[in-house]
Amino acid sequence: MANWKTIAEEAADVASGTNSAIKNVEKALKLIEDNSEYQAIINVIKDRALYRAKEIDAKVAKGEKVGRLVGVPFIAKDNFLTYGSETTAASNILKGFEAPYQSTAINKLEAEGAICVAKANLDAFAHGGSTENSDFFVTKNPLDKTRVAGGSSGGSAAAVALGLAPFALGSDTGGSIRQPSSFCGVVGLKPTYGLVSRSGVVAMASSTDVIGPITTSVQDAALVLDVMSGTDPLDSTTIVRNNQPYTVYKQPNTPKIGVIKEYMDEGVDPEVKKVIEEAIQRLKNAGAKIEYVSLPSLPLALAVYYIVVPAEVSSNLSRYDGQRFGFSDGTAVNLDDSYELSRSRGFGAEAKRRIMIGTHVLSSGYYDAYYKKAQTVRTKLCQEFTSVFEKVDYLLGPVVPEVAFKIGANSEDPLKMYLVDIMTVASNLVGVPAISVPAGTAQGMPVGIQLIAPQQHDLDLLQLAKWYEETR
């Protein structure tokens, strides 16, 4: 792993002139090249990154004011629209697409002096938990190249674990930041729904998509969130952020933490469970009040997710029709052929599967039987989370019931792959913030602990996570 300082320290070194943005960008580009065997990166944004670095160094030399992330390189998941590179969402249907505008999150980071140096691999359109659904290649786990890095933000998590840059961006629709962060041994934050603008990020499921950072520490995650968060006129779902900076650390005062019973049952790998139980004991020793709590509808969350999300996927992917941008089949002789051939040849198997499931649950005769019932259970889940947060301040459990699995182990069994999301989807369905923090190892591979807070309590969540980090 490359020796990067904290994000704040890296920025301070550039601002003071003891280091330069050019050196940081060149270092990141070299590390990306040297670690290409892990297949974490789809595109490198070399020319634009070096150009921005020269501009930043010139500003510093003139004594002009610079931002909090000045000269710090970062990597964006390839579903973020960026200048200077293609944005493919790891799908052949978008291969060659260069965005005419840039995502709000990246604009905010650049306004503070950060420099996007590359685009990370993912499951195509963020559909998956292993990057095996990428149309280009499978990202390998930095700790064991025979295992997956997780997904869908597997390239971003692997990039941070490999030290290619101080931080990366991911998107989390049902665990896509937290799960790969657990598999790769890094910090992955899913903020409250709407806290970070989704404008300029390729949509998967609009009611659960969340943007967040992947870093090596909670402190770094807090800083990136502090820069990215807040309202955006280009995204009507954004919410007003906390007035207090997310970077202000105050040790929690005897926090009441509820261990989710449903996440600690017989379905969890015994070694993973042991790591989480040891983490619980550390928190208890540090002064936390621990109790076990139950959310009765939680076992239904995965079924709800795989009805609601494919329904939104089928709607969101309808724009990829071969007419305006992306892949268009040149052999078509009429409009109907163009739609059919462009979509059948451009989309991968998992995208097609989710489109068909989503179209089915929304179709006449099935809407009431599936989609409407799923939304009813989703409301019940929201009520149960609200109720349990009246008894405890936070919730706790594993991120995933197992460690990173072998490449190819689940690829022939979609249902088994979907079950990997069993402990992460509920947070997305109810819109609460959640974070994965390294907790230990099982079978020689990283295990993350998942901490969850009520909606808009992102600052409290970060403070608990940092407190936990310090108990290790």
152 catalytic? Reply is yes
Can you tell me the distance from the alpha carbon of 449 to that of 434, in angstroms, rounded to the nearest whole number?
A: 10
In a domain? residue 129: yes
In a domain? residue 71: yes
* The pLDDT value given to residue 2: 66
* The pLDDT value given to residue 233: 98
Using only the alpha carbons of the chain, give its radius of gyration.
21
**CA 458 → CA 173, 181, 352, distances in Å?**
17, 18, 35
In a domain? residue 190: yes
State yes or no: pLDDT of 150 exceeds 90. yes
What is the per-residue pLDDT across 374-416, written as a single tens digit (0 to 9) for each? 999 999 999 999 999 999 999 999 999 999 999 999 988 888 8
In a domain? residue 324: no
95 catalytic? Reply is no
Closest residue by Cα to residue 394 from 293, 471, 299? 293
Amino acid of residue 257: I
Can you tell me the distance from the alpha carbon of 156 to that of 265, in angstroms, rounded to the nearest whole number?
A: 30
In a domain? residue 383: no
What is the per-residue pLDDT across 421-443, written as a single tens digit (0 to 9) for each? 999 999 999 999 999 999 999 99
Number of domain units in the chain:
1
In a domain? residue 430: no
Closest residue by Cα to residue 150 from 409, 356, 396? 409
Can you tell me the distance from the alpha carbon of 341 to that of 335, in angstroms, rounded to the nearest whole number?
A: 10
**CA 63 → CA 15, 66, 110, 113, 275, distances in Å?**
9, 9, 19, 14, 49
Buried b (16+ CB within 10 A) or exposed e, 426-453: bbbbbbbbbbbbbbbebeebbbbbbbbb
The domain spanning residue 85 has which CATH number? 3.90.1300.10
Can you tell me the distance from the alpha carbon of 335 to that of 339, in angstroms, rounded to the nearest whole number?
A: 6
176 catalytic? Reply is yes
User: Of 130, 156, 176, 217, which residue is the catalytic one?
Assistant: 176
- Global pTM reads 0.97
What is the per-residue pLDDT across 100-125, written as a single tens digit (0 to 9) for each? 999 999 999 999 999 999 999 999 99
User: Of 91, 103, 152, 153, which residue is the catalytic one?
Assistant: 152
User: Of 27, 59, 77, 140, which residue is the catalytic one?
Assistant: 77
The domain of 196 spans 7-228
Q: Quick check: 172 and 162 in contact, CB under 8 A? A: no
**CA 444 → CA 16, 143, 183, 404, 440, distances in Å?**
41, 9, 11, 10, 9
Closest residue by Cα to residue 176 from 189, 164, 186? 189
In a domain? residue 440: no
What is the per-residue pLDDT across 50-67, written as a single tens digit (0 to 9) for each? 999 999 999 999 999 999
In a domain? residue 396: no
Mean predicted lDDT score pLDDT of the chain = 97
38: tokens are: 């892990």
